Chain A
Amino acid sequence: MNYLVGAFKPPCNVFISFADGRSRKQVPLKKENGKTVMVALFQSQENIVGEVVIEPIHGKKVEHNGVKIELLGQIELYFDRGNFYDFTSLVRELDIPGELYERKTYPFEFSTVEMPYESYNGVNVRLRYILKVTISRNFVSNIVECQDFVVRNYTPPPSINNSIKMEVGIEDCLHIEFEYSKSKYHLKDVIIGKIYFLLVRIKLKNMELEIRRRESTGSGPNTYVETETLAKFELMDGAAVRGESIPIRLFLSPYELTPTYRNINNKFSVKYYLNLVLVDEEDRRYFKQQEITMYRLLEAS
């Protein structure tokens, strides 16, 4: 059936555009085919206003059972292929059943749309928002056109943001105390901190700080956890001795981070960790992982 769809060109072109398309901020979005396209950026509670243009191909007549536009928020789990969970679904009827002979423009508007989750493109899961125009037809397949857009939600700086401070060690081998100035960081933030060496009996070679992303999908026995190391940032070269304190300053902006997502629609979570790794001369690794919370701060642009 599918190749037939390809064989027969749809009898009309459908364009979806936003009213403020020119002025709205565009962000890159990676498509399934690996290409990156620029799409419009929205946040929750915004009005999504635009128009749909349907243009039949040189005078062909399009019969239809009605035209509608949907705003869908979908979660797609890769291991559960093909299943979309729509957590948001809004519909606007654009046209009653009839025939189209010529180009026709339909304005649409979704007011103060609740879009609680951000667009996310992970290893095992994707959360996306689309506008979907459907021209329903009898006997033949519907004509469907989709337009992605990206949602990002901004959070005010947290009122409580404690530092992370901890003393760890291996008895009689290595004792360190580390401190990160905050536990919650925005995406362009900088991690400031220090590591204080209380006892060093092993021959250290270097020390690095990793930013790790832990994406867990599914629930119960079907939980899939995927961990990525997004950054490896060398903090120390050589071996510190007792009493040394090594500064940490890690700018987060070069890395593609997202806010921390906790239990999105009971489908998935994305968490971030700072992993402090000490490597000795025999390449043994000693590490301590700490969760940090990422949030998106409204950029003053």
Chain B
Amino acid sequence: MIADGVEDEEKWLSAGIAGLQQNAFYMHRALDSNNLRDALKYSAQMLSELRTSRLSPHKYYELYMRAFDELRKLEMFFKEETRRGCSIIDLYELVQHAGNILPRLYLLCTVGSVYIKSKEAPAKDVLKDLVEMCRGIQHPVRGLFLRSYLAQVSRDKLPDIGSEYEGDADTVVDAVEFVLQNFTEMNKLWVRMQHQGPAREKEKREKERSELRDLVGKNLHVLSQIEGIDLDMYKDTVLPRVLEQVVNCKDELAQYYLMDCIIQVFPDEYHLQTLDVLLGAFPQLQPTVDIKTVLSRLMERLSNYAASSADVLPEFLQVEAFSKLNNAIGKVIEAQPDMPILGVITLYSSLLTFTLHVHPDRLDYADQVLGACVRKLSGKGKLEDNKATKQIVALLSAPLEKYNDIVTALKLSNYPRVMEYLDSETNKVMATVIIQSIMKNKTRISTADRVEALFELIKGLIKDLDGTFDDEVDEDDFKEEQNSVARLIQMFYNDDTEEMFKIICTVRKHILAGGPKRLPFTVPPLVFSSLKLVRQLQGQEENPFGEEESTTPKKIFQLLNQTLETLSNIPAPELALQLYLQCAEAANDCDLEPVAYEFFTQAYILYEEEISDSRAQVTAIHLIIGTLQRMHVFGVENRDTLTHKATGYSAKLLKKPDQCRAVYACSHLFWVDDQDNMKDGERVLLCLKRALRIANAAQQMSNAARGSTGSVTLFVEILNKYLYFFEKGNPQVTVAAIQSLIELITTEMQSDSSTPDPAADALFASTLRYIEFQKQKGGAVGEKYEPIKV
């Protein structure tokens, strides 16, 4: 049935075209022979093809275009005819003798065009007549095309300012009047189209209508091109008239399209100066009209306009653009209770963008917008609508992008309240956006209040929301998120130690709520920030006012101790151990022996109780040794206790090579170069010897287990230690000892049962080279080395 319809339509179209062409042929012949009577007759017959009701607008357009081309020729003919002496006035009458109205009016418009050009009558009179006469076509499609033809032939003949058709006075008014009237009539026809024909074809009709919309919109375009329309005229005449039409037509499609048209075709400054009027129309539109898109475009245009030049900004202030827009949006939302939440958010989002562009200094405006948004969202719970949440993200990102400064955004009290309406997933996304913004702009957050506010914003990342734990979170994503939080913590900084301490307390408060999964990521940056503060406090140790400072390193260390405790409870013992050692070292720098001792104790406890993996133990013990070596704050007793413990741990490692290495490392605990009271050569040697013993044992063990001796690497390494202490002047380390060690190594390497190890060989070789090199240096060092024989 429908296929038939399409086929039939094709048939009708081709029949129409055929009829048109045939008459056009006769018309041409009449034109060629200057036969006016026949020309009129055949052109009228040709135009009669346009009287069809059978074609869809699309096909009708095809037919119309053909007729249009023919009419151009006819117009030329009329022009020549007047040159030959035929009175244009007679011609104007003559074409009106046609009995059928549609051909008559097409011809009338065509002659009218020539009439205006002849200037025998004022353009305005002819135009007025034409636009009036066209009322005779009440059929929507035919009427639209006819009036579109009228608009087309008249657009270069309007009595505009500067036009050759300009009359005496106020003729722009006539031009405007003409276009407005044509527009009004076309719009009426267009709107009426929907009521024609059976209801079941409504959808199809709406589609057809939408194809025709540009015919109507073209009038607005023509209006916008009339030079003579100044702001006053636009304000007083053009806009009210157009809006009246738009509002009164009560048609969804038309209202949407035309409002958009108005916004797009007229200049921005006009919009700005007529905001009241323009915005006043929005709440009056049909509730189904997609106002949000239109309004958004308006705001977008205005934003761009504001961005285009700084000179126009005062205008915006003068007309109070923001409050007007804000009011209008409020009213629109009120007037359209069915508007989906997405629409509401889109509107506010556009408004926010607008105010950010236009009034970057008025943060309160932005906050107002967010506040209004919150009011709308309240009572709706979390948003389910995917698009709406996306739109909120866009809304919230806008201030960040604009100010490049989270600090500004933090001043927006409604900002976090909007975020509350996001689901936790989106919330995280938003939080990440915020952090990224901070990172990108290297924003420094310098007060505790702001930190507090910021954490409020990104709490989605800081802790599990709603008490629900989402198992499906991707591990990598999670790490990524937490790493960004860690980076963020580094961005908090204030030169004022008091404030910085507050910041740290705030951060601590928040991150401790983060749960075991987050703490390993968030504690380290906190610790390091704190240590940084400690160092800063040291720098200004002398308090010039002698007041009792509330922020002391001690206090910080207490805080750190507590913090780290939580970390060891998670458990993350290795991390905690490392951090304890860091803290100990910092305490060392502050000469706080008991504190440092406490940290070490904690580290040791962790080592003993929590770290069971042998590899972790090796790493830990080396860390302990390294740190301990640098400690200078300890008294003899404390130090002895700690070194003793460390050596003890070293010797208890599982694998011999590990033992060996740990033990020779311990030797450094007894020999600190820049501290004279820390040079216990004897105990150094003891350590080294012990290491040698262990190396030997290791060698034998491997011999026993695998039938071949292990590598000599350990020996070479011990040799290096010997050389080190020898060079540092440890009296207990003698040439003889070194000599025998070298020999031992050489023997071992030459032994049949040894496993060849190129790395060990290379190390040994370069050690020997070093000895040679030192010898050749001469001087004190050279003398020292001289006795060693290689």
Given the known interface contacts A247-B132, A247-B133, the answer about A237 and B138 at a Cβ–Cβ threshold of 8 Å is: yes
Contacting residues of chain B (86-121) with chain A, CB-CB under 8 angstroms: 93, 96-97, 99-102, 104
User: A237's contact among B96, B132, B136, by CB below 8 Å, is which?
Assistant: B136
Query: What's the nearest-Cβ distance from chain A to residue B761, in Å?
Result: 106
Which listed segment binds A: B139-147, B458-466, B567-575, B580-588? B139-147
User: In the complex the two chains form, what is the Cα distance from A196 to B99 in whole Å?
Assistant: 21
**Main SS of chain A's interface residues?**
strand
B51 surroundings in chain A (CB, below 8 A): 237
Q: Kindly report which residue of chain A lies nearest to residue B100, judged by CB atoms.
A: A234
Known pairs A234-B136, A236-B136, A238-B140. 7 more at Cβ < 8 A?
Answer: A206-B101, A236-B138, A237-B51, A239-B138, A244-B135, A247-B132, A253-B93
Q: A residues touching B (Cβ–Cβ < 8 Å)?
A: 206, 231-241, 244-247, 249, 251, 253-254
User: B101's contact among A237, A240, A251, A254, by CB below 8 Å, is which?
Assistant: A237
Query: What's the nearest-Cβ distance from chain A to residue B127, in Å?
Result: 15
Q: Are A237 and B102 in contact (CB under 8 A)?
A: yes
User: In the complex the two chains form, what is the Cα distance from A235 to B139 in whole Å?
Assistant: 12
User: A245's contact among B99, B104, B135, B192, by CB below 8 Å, is which?
Assistant: B135
User: In the complex the two chains form, what is the Cα distance from A245 to B93 in whole Å?
Assistant: 22
Q: Are A237 and B142 in contact (CB under 8 A)?
A: yes
User: A238's contact among B99, B100, B143, by CB below 8 Å, is which?
Assistant: B143
User: A234's contact among B101, B140, B143, B192, by CB below 8 Å, is which?
Assistant: B101
Q: Are A238 and B142 in contact (CB under 8 A)?
A: yes
Query: What's the nearest-Cβ distance from chain A to residue B188, in Å?
Result: 8
Query: What's the nearest-Cβ distance from chain A to residue B92, in Å?
Result: 11
User: A249's contact among B96, B100, B102, by CB below 8 Å, is which?
Assistant: B96
Given the known interface contacts A241-B192, A247-B132, A249-B133, the answer about A234 and B138 at a Cβ–Cβ threshold of 8 Å is: no
Q: Are B139 and A246 in contact (CB under 8 A)?
A: no
Q: Answer yes or no: B377 CB below 8 A from chain A CBs.
A: no
Q: Answer yes or no: B242 CB below 8 A from chain A CBs.
A: no
B133 surroundings in chain A (CB, below 8 A): 247, 249
Q: Answer yes or no: B137 CB below 8 A from chain A CBs.
A: yes
Contacting residues of chain B (161-213) with chain A, CB-CB under 8 angstroms: 192, 196
User: In the complex the two chains form, what is the Cα distance from A249 to B135 in whole Å?
Assistant: 12
| Interchain residue pairs A-B with the least CB separation, the first 9 | A238-B139, A238-B138, A234-B101, A254-B97, A240-B138, A237-B137, A234-B100, A237-B139, A237-B101
Contacting residues of chain B (431-451) with chain A, CB-CB under 8 angstroms: none
B137 surroundings in chain A (CB, below 8 A): 236-238
Given the known interface contacts A237-B51, A241-B192, A254-B97, the answer about A247 and B139 at a Cβ–Cβ threshold of 8 Å is: no
User: A235's contact among B136, B143, B196, by CB below 8 Å, is which?
Assistant: B136
Show 12 residue pairs from A and B whose CB-CB distance is below 8 angstroms, ordered by the A residue: A234-B104, A234-B136, A235-B101, A237-B101, A237-B136, A237-B137, A237-B143, A238-B142, A238-B143, A247-B135, A247-B136, A249-B96
Q: Are B139 and A239 in contact (CB under 8 A)?
A: yes
Given the known interface contacts A232-B99, A234-B100, A236-B101, the answer about A246 and B136 at a Cβ–Cβ threshold of 8 Å is: yes
Q: Are A251 and B132 in contact (CB under 8 A)?
A: no
A232 surroundings in chain B (CB, below 8 A): 99
B93 surroundings in chain A (CB, below 8 A): 251, 253
B138 surroundings in chain A (CB, below 8 A): 236-241, 244, 246
B142 surroundings in chain A (CB, below 8 A): 237-238
Q: Which of B51, B97, B136, B196 has the most CB of A within 10 A?
A: B136
Query: What's the nearest-Cβ distance from chain A to residue B106, in Å?
Result: 12
User: In the complex the two chains form, what is the Cα distance from A201 to B219 in whole Å?
Assistant: 31
A234 surroundings in chain B (CB, below 8 A): 99-102, 104, 136
Q: Kindly report which residue of chain A lies nearest to residue B185, judged by CB atoms.
A: A244
> B141-161 CB contact bits vs A (8 Å, 1 = yes)?
011000000000000000000
Given the known interface contacts A237-B142, A241-B192, A251-B93, the answer about A231 and B99 at a Cβ–Cβ threshold of 8 Å is: yes
A237 surroundings in chain B (CB, below 8 A): 51, 101-102, 136-139, 142-143
B101 surroundings in chain A (CB, below 8 A): 206, 234-237
A247 surroundings in chain B (CB, below 8 A): 132-133, 135-136
B100 surroundings in chain A (CB, below 8 A): 234
A238 surroundings in chain B (CB, below 8 A): 137-140, 142-143
Query: What's the nearest-Cβ distance from chain B to residue A246, in Å?
Result: 6
Q: Which of B96, B100, B138 has the most CB of A within 10 A?
A: B138
B104 surroundings in chain A (CB, below 8 A): 234
Q: Kindly report which residue of chain B lies nearest to residue A232, judged by CB atoms.
A: B99
Query: What's the nearest-Cβ distance from chain B to residue A254, in Å?
Result: 5
User: In the complex the two chains form, what is the Cα distance from A251 to B97 in whole Å?
Assistant: 7
Query: What's the nearest-Cβ distance from chain B to residue A72, in Å?
Result: 37
Q: Kindly report which residue of chain A lies nearest to residue B97, judged by CB atoms.
A: A254
Query: What's the nearest-Cβ distance from chain A to residue B579, in Å?
Result: 83
User: In the complex the two chains form, what is the Cα distance from A246 to B142 in whole Å?
Assistant: 16
User: In the complex the two chains form, what is the Cα distance from A233 to B100 in whole Å?
Assistant: 7
Query: What's the nearest-Cβ distance from chain A to residue B373, in Å?
Result: 43
Q: Kindly report which residue of chain B lies nearest to residue A241, judged by CB atoms.
A: B192
B139 surroundings in chain A (CB, below 8 A): 237-239
Query: What's the nearest-Cβ distance from chain A to residue B87, in Å?
Result: 14
Given the known interface contacts A238-B143, A241-B192, A251-B93, the answer about A233 and B99 at a Cβ–Cβ threshold of 8 Å is: yes
A241 surroundings in chain B (CB, below 8 A): 138, 192
Query: What's the nearest-Cβ distance from chain B to residue A239, in Å?
Result: 6
Query: What's the nearest-Cβ distance from chain B to residue A244, in Å?
Result: 7
Query: What's the nearest-Cβ distance from chain A to residue B514, in Å?
Result: 69
A236 surroundings in chain B (CB, below 8 A): 101, 136-138
B143 surroundings in chain A (CB, below 8 A): 237-238
B132 surroundings in chain A (CB, below 8 A): 247
Query: What's the nearest-Cβ distance from chain B to residue A84, in Å?
Result: 37
User: In the complex the two chains form, what is the Cα distance from A236 to B100 in whole Å?
Assistant: 9
User: In the complex the two chains form, what is the Cα distance from A249 to B138 in whole Å?
Assistant: 16
B97 surroundings in chain A (CB, below 8 A): 251, 253-254
User: In the complex the two chains form, what is the Cα distance from A240 to B102 in whole Å?
Assistant: 15
User: In the complex the two chains form, what is the Cα distance from A238 to B144 in whole Å?
Assistant: 12
A254 surroundings in chain B (CB, below 8 A): 97
A239 surroundings in chain B (CB, below 8 A): 138-139, 196
Q: Are A251 and B96 in contact (CB under 8 A)?
A: yes
Query: What's the nearest-Cβ distance from chain B to residue A80, in Å?
Result: 36
A246 surroundings in chain B (CB, below 8 A): 135-136, 138
Query: What's the nearest-Cβ distance from chain A to residue B603, in Å?
Result: 92
User: In the complex the two chains form, what is the Cα distance from A249 to B137 in whole Å?
Assistant: 14
User: In the complex the two chains form, what is the Cα distance from A239 to B138 in whole Å?
Assistant: 6
Q: Kindly report which residue of chain B lies nearest to residue A233, judged by CB atoms.
A: B99
User: In the complex the two chains form, what is the Cα distance from A272 to B133 in whole Å?
Assistant: 25
User: In the complex the two chains form, what is the Cα distance from A247 to B130 in whole Å?
Assistant: 11
A251 surroundings in chain B (CB, below 8 A): 93, 96-97
User: In the complex the two chains form, what is the Cα distance from A228 to B603 in whole Å?
Assistant: 123
> B29-43 CB contact bits vs A (8 Å, 1 = yes)?
000000000000000
Q: Kindly report which residue of chain A lies nearest to residue B132, judged by CB atoms.
A: A247
A249 surroundings in chain B (CB, below 8 A): 96, 133
B96 surroundings in chain A (CB, below 8 A): 249, 251
